[in-house]
Structures are given as C-alpha cells and as structure tokens.
Structure 1
Amino acid sequence: MSHQDYPELTDIAPEHEDASLQAPAPAQEPEGAVLELVERGHRLAMALPVFAWPCTIGRAATNDLVLTDPSIGPSHVRLHHPHAGHYEVEVLDSTNGVWHGRRHYQAGERFAWQPGQRLTLGRGVQLNLRSTAQPLAATQRWRPFSRSQGLLTGFALVLLVLLSAWTTWLGATETGALARQLPAILLWMLGGLLVWTLGWSMMGKLFTGVTGFWRHVGIASVGMVAMALLDVLLSVTGFAMSWPLLSRFASLASFTLMAVVIWFHLRAATLVSARTLALAVGGLLVLGIGAKLGLQWQTQKRLGDNLYMSTMLPPQWRLAPTTSVDQFMQGTDSMREQLQNRSQLEKDDDEEGDDSGLD
C-alpha cells in the first residue's frame, strides 16, 4: 500500500472539534449551609449539612432535621435560601415560636437569618447557621495529657509532700510531733486535692464533654506547690531581710496565685475565651482582696494578715544588720503609742457595747 492510500490526520481528527462533542463542564456545587445544634450554650451536639431548600425542622419524622425536645412543634420552622448569601426563617409553630436575639417571632412570621447568628427554639434548643461559602476557621491543636505533663504532675505531688513535711517540722514543738501530725496532714491535703479535681472534672464534662481529670490534677498540684513555695519564700525573705511587709501581706500574693490557678482550671473546663475569663477572674480577685482588707481593718485595726515574726525561723538565716539596743528602745516608743491607741479604741468599743445594752 502506497503512502497515498493513508488518509491525512486532519481528515480523521479535524483541527476544530464541534462544541457539542466537547466534555460537559463539571456542575457547580450548590451553595449550602450547616445547621449546628448547640447544647448548654457552647457544646456542639450535632451538625447537619443542607443543600436542598427549603429545609424544615421539627419533631415529625418528615422533617429534614428531627428534634426530640417536647417543646418543639411537629414542624417548627422552615428555612429558605432565596439567593446566595441570604437565608430566611419561616415560623410554623404557633405554641412557642422562635427567639432571634431579643425578639420573639410567632407562627406565620418570616425574618432574615445571617450566618453566625443563633436561634432559640422551644424552651432552649439553640441553632447556629454556618454557610459553606464561609472559610473555615483554623484547626485547633489538641494537646492531650502528655508524658512530660505526667512527670511534672508527679514531681509536683512529691514536692508537695516534702513541703508539708518541712512546714510540719518547723512548727513542731515537741519530739515525735512530725511522725504523729504528718499522716493526718497528708490525708487531708490529698483528699482535698481529689475533691477539688473531681469538681473541675465534672464541670469540664458538663460544658465541654471532656473530663480532663489528669489535666486538672496537674493544674491543682502545680498550683499548690507554687503557693506553698511563694509563702515560704516571702516568709524567709521577710525574716532574713527584716522586711515586715512581705510576711504581713503574703496572703494577698497567695490570693493572686490562686486566681491564676482558677483561670487555668476554667480554661480547661469551659469553652469561654481566655480574655473573658481573665477579666472575670481579675474582677473577682479585686473584689475579694478589697473585702478581705476591709474585714481585717474592721476586726483588728490593721491591714496585714500575720504579725511580723509570728513564726520564728533559725537565727542563721538572718541577713539584715543587727540593731543596737538604743535603736531598739527608740523603736519601742512608737510601738508603745500604737498599743495605747489600740487599747483605748477597744475600751471605747466595750463601753459603747455596755451602753447599748441599757434599757
């Protein structure tokens, strides 16, 4: 067969194909939304993607989203998607209606529903709307209780036992007191730690669905060690450097550290933002410190909690220069005046109390 017997390629595959013979373009995915059923204000109980409109919600089995709460009507609401980016809610239930923000809608009413807003159906069933056209938030990193956190928790518990033994030994007034008192102190301490941790774990299960027991154990144990070390550091530093304010106001530092520990617990047990929790805990801390100082002044006429050198430490730890006898005697003059003023105030209070009891 000669070369001329073969047809040209252009005769078999023409240079320009017919448009009707080209592969059809892929169908564009319809714009939809995700209905999120929220429990207890934050916990996501269920998510339903919706691409067919309208969409009905209610207790009847014929609805697109079936809810079981008895305060929900058989067909409670119908969602419409008239055009891209807009959604409308048609209220069908005539008993409980729908709350949108602070406004309540009855049966037959329609209103616009924007993604990110929340609806309340019946006695508290909450729905969120999230459009599929919206970009997804960044994936949150999940940090389970790691091996390093376990080692830190174990080390904190051991250190807590040692600190309890050391403080018990410092406060012992007779031989053998450490062996008798330490077991009871450890029992109360570990029992309190367990009760505290279980309470936060139950709160985490309620609001996030996760107990986080060991995470709360770690937070509590590290916090207890930090508060114990802070108390010891302030007492020793105040004694060594002769700074009375450190020992008198050591409880305020412990209050502040306790507030930080509670903030970490709340971060693990709730889904509230860190800033909101910080503002709430900080406000309660300011109120608590103000109330404590006020009660302290009302009952004892002083702001400080502990008297200076109420706990004696070894004399070798003293770093402040020695005060001469003359300087010490001069300092007793102001002390004598303060004692006389306090004695007079107590005497006046007693006399006022006696007078108020007369008929």
Structure 2
Amino acid sequence: MPAAARAQPRRPDEGGALLAGLSPAARALRRRAQGGRARSEYARSRDFTRTVGRERRNGATGGRPLPRGDRVGEVIFLEVLDRRGRLLDRHRIDRCPITIGRAYANDVIVDDPYVCPTHLRLLRTDDGALRVEDLGSVNGTHGDPDGARISRAPLPSDGRVRIGNTVLRFRRDDASVPPALVQIHGASGSTRLTRAPVALASWLIVAVLLMNSVLIEGYERPQGWRVAGLGILFVVGISVWAAAWALVTRVVTHDWRFLAHTSVACIFLGLDLIGDTVQGYVRFIGAGTWSGTLLSVACNAGPVGWLFSAHLALVGTMKAPKRLAVATVAALCLLGLFTFASRWNSFEFSRQIHFDAALRPLPRAWIPGAPVEAILAEVLDLEGEVRQLATQKPRAAAWLAGLEEGDSELGSQRNEGRVRQHRATGRFDPPGQNR
C-alpha cells in the first residue's frame, strides 16, 4: 500500500454518513438481511449438535472424519437401558471424547437421579480402543451391571457399563439384532376369531351355558327373572374380561381386537362345560386312582390354559413355547387357588347341595365292578374284625349296640360326648361310672 494512502486518516463518520444517505426503507432492508444471516448461522450451529460428538464449529475437532475402514473413525452406537434391560434410547457416536451425565452440557443426557451431572467420559486411544473414565461421580461407574467399581479402564468385552440405575451398552453398526416379530394378517391362527360372524356365533355358547345351568343342573323351578339375571351376568362378565384384554392388546400392538377376545372367552366357557362333564365321569370311574386324579386336573386346567394361551396369542408378543409355559403356570395357579377356596368353604354350613344335581348315565361296561366272591370275602373279613373288637371291648360293644337300637337312656345328649370320645381315643367310660 502506498505511504500516502497509509497516512491518510480515516474519517470516523464515514460509516454513519453512508447509513444516513440511505432511505429508511433501505436501512430496514439492510438490517433484515443482517438478521437473516445471523439466524442462518444460529440454525447451522444447532445442526452441528444433533449428532453426538460431531464438530460444533468448523475446525473445532481437527478436520473431517476419518474413513470408515479406519478403526479410529468407526461409528458406534450407545444404547441406554434400565436395570431390567429395557431399551430407553439410542445415540449415534461419531467422535470421541464424549461426556455422559444428567447436565444439559453433556453429549449424552441420562435421566437418572443416581447419575451425576457430569458422570462419565468416553475416550478412544491411539490404537482405536475405547476407554471409560469416571469423572469423580458419587455412585461410581461399574464395568458390568453387577461388577466392581472402576475409575479408568478399557471398555468391557460385552460393551456394558452401569452408572446409577442406568446401563450403557456400546455397540458397533454391524451388531446383530433379533429377528422381526411376525405381524399377524389374514385369517390364520387366532385372528380368525376377529371376524364378526365368528365373534357373534360364539355368543351362542352363552345360551347353551344358560340352558345347562337352569334346565339340567338346576334342582329348583326356573324363574324368569333369575334366568334373565343370569344371562345378563354372563354377558357383562364376558364383556369386562374381553375389554381388559383388549386394553392390553391396544397398548402393545395398537389394535383393540375386542371381538376376538370375546370369542376366546365364550369358547373357553364352552370348553369348561365340556371339561366339567368329562370330569364328572372321570371322578366316578377313576375315583381313588392316580390316573383319575390326573385326568380330573387336566379337565380343569386344560380350558384355563387354552384361555390364557389364546389371549396371549392375540396380543402377539410371545413365542409359542413361552406362551404355552406362561398359560400352563397361570392355569395351575388358578386351579390351586380355587381348590383351596372350595376346601375352605366346604366346612361352612350351607343350604345348597355340594354335588352335581345332574344325573349322568353310564354304559354298564364303564361301571367298575367286582366278582361276588370278592365281595363276600370282604364281608367275611369285616365280620371278623367286628367280632375281634367285640371280644376285646365287650362293654363298649354292648353300649354302642344299645345306642344303635334307639335306647332312650343311651341315646341321650349326655352320652353323645362319650360316643365321640370313644371314636376319637378308643377309651370308653360306662354311663354309670361318673355318677
């Protein structure tokens, strides 16, 4: 630059004079243009922070990313899990180091009250290995969800680090993922129950149950209001049960499938009626045998297991083996609970009969029998035992015989306690001993 030009002083009001020469509209346009450039710069600066570890200003991290073939420049992903292993969030990591914590200044923000504001730093060594460094946190950093506390160490082989109640899992882009779940479409499997004709036809089972309860198993004269009330109870119970399962299905699969769940409930009631009928025959034919007991349990647990399995199939999040296992466990637990409740209530006085009022005829070949000689042998054995007891305790036998004959003195309420005492302990006190 010439010396004369350098020596020429700059007039301080040059910029002001230039602005003063512009019209008000031109000055407003100039300010708007400057503001637009500022806003675009701010927007570009925000775009730099969307990817974890990406440069926030040009040249801040030392140039462009390395090629993908270089291990130092490989892309890793950070998965944030809870203590149960459920995935909460994923982050793409292009650059190291990064910081992890609750504060908003971190590259990865973790919403966990047991995590410090700046809890952990992830580094990459010269050879490309990842290292974790605890930044003096209160609850520490653990190399494994159940491992020891570490301060600075290489990333564990499984890529899992626990901070507070949060598990961080680092994975490469070539990590394997579980296969996709099969989304049920069409008329295969349990979705056939979602069809309106099938769902409406299944409600006919309610009419069959109503007829069975009133006309077959009932031992009183049927009344119209009782029949109507029982039918309404069936409909309301099935609807509430199906609505609960439909709500679960809505949360999991974003689909209600209410009609399908009502069909499952109605079919279950029909299967339960069949199982109850078969159980009555099994109890009569196989009474006192282990095979009869197993068949009786199967008649009760089978329909309940199918009920839970069909509902879980409509929800559609479990595989078949796991679904069958869960349904079997639920059926056995409910069976045990109802068995305990029935045994507990059986000791209370009730005006209702505790056996089925319906008579189920059996073919003659199904009825278990025994030869006449075997029955006579048992009678002779029983007679021998009675004679032996009469010989050992003649006074007790005579007193009990008199009681059975209806003697007024021996059949009094005073002597009923002695009868119970004799049957419980084997001891006998004559009526006149305590007088």
Normalized against structure 2, the TM-score is what? 0.51
Query: Which amino acid in 1 is paired with 2:192?
Result: S
Return the match for 1:68 from 96, 111, 116.
111
Which of 176, 200, 210 is 1:135 aligned to? 176
Query: In the alignment, what sits opposite 2:285?
Result: 243
Match of 1:121 in 2: 163
1:103 and 1:275 map into 2 onto residues whose CA distance is 33
SS at 1:103's partner residue? coil
CA–CA distance in 1 between the matches of 2:148 and 2:200? 54
The 1-side partners of 2:185 and 2:422 are apart by 59
SS for the counterpart of 2:275 is: helix
2:360 counterpart of 1:320: no
Tell me which of 101, 108, 126 is aligned to 1:58. 101
Q: Which has the larger radius of gyration?
A: 2
Where does residue 231 of structure 2 map in the other structure?
A: 186
Once residues 314 and 154 of structure 2 are traced to their aligned partners in structure 1, the CA distance between those partners, rounded to angstroms, is: 38
- Structure 2 unmatched runs, 5+: 1-65, 347-352, 387-418, 426-435
Paired residue type of 1:181: R
SS at match of 2:113: coil
- Give the direction of change, closer, same or farther, for the CA distance of 1:223–1:79 in structure 2 (3 Å limit): farther
1:42–1:161 Cα change, 3 Å? farther
2:36 paired residue number: none
How many corresponding residue pairs?
Answer: 303
Return closer, same or farther for 1:272/1:175 CA change in 2, 3 Å cut-off.
closer
Letter in 2 for 1:259: G
Distance apart, 1:98 and its partner CA: 3.6
Q: Deviations over 1:226-275 (max 9, x none)?
A: 3233223444x659xx7355997535421244234335556766967665
Q: Alpha carbons of 1:74 and 1:255: their partners in 2 closer, same or farther (altered >3 Å)? A: same
Is 1:101 paired with 2:145? yes
What letter matches 2:145 in structure 1? G
Change (3 A) 1:138 1:311: same
Match of 1:78 in 2: 121
The CA distance in 1 between the partners of 2:132 and 2:145, in whole Å, is: 14
> Normalised by the size of structure 1, how large is the TM-score?
0.60
Deviation of residue 170 (structure 1)? Answer: 1.0
The aligned residue for residue 148 of structure 1 is 192
Instruction: Output the CA distance in 1 between the equivalents of 2:172 and 2:152.
Output: 23
Is the contact between residue 234 and residue 247 of structure 1 (CA under 8 Å) also seen in structure 2?
Answer: no
Structure with the larger RCO, 1 or 2 (CA within 8 Å, 6+ apart): 1
Compared CA separation, residues 329 and 193, structure 1 to 2 (3 A) = farther
Unaligned runs of 5+ in 1: 1-25, 301-306, 341-345, 353-359
The answer to whether residue 300 in structure 2 is matched with residue 258 in structure 1 is no
**Aligned pairs (5 A) from 1:186-335:** 186-197=231-242, 214=258, 217=262, 219-235=264-280, 243-245=285-287, 250-263=296-309, 265=311, 275=321, 282=328, 310-313=356-359, 318-321=362-365
> Aligned pair in 2 of structure 1 residues 320, 272: CA closer, same or farther (>3 Å)?
same
Aligned-pair identity in percent equals 15
Q: 1:195 to 1:110 in 2, by over 3 A?
A: farther
- Give CA-to-partner distance per residue, 1:35-59, whole Å, 9 cap, x none: 2333573543322222322333222
CA contact 2:300–2:335 (8 Å) conserved in 1: no
Cα offset, 1:132, TM superposition:
0.9
CA contact (8 A) 2:82 2:88 kept: yes
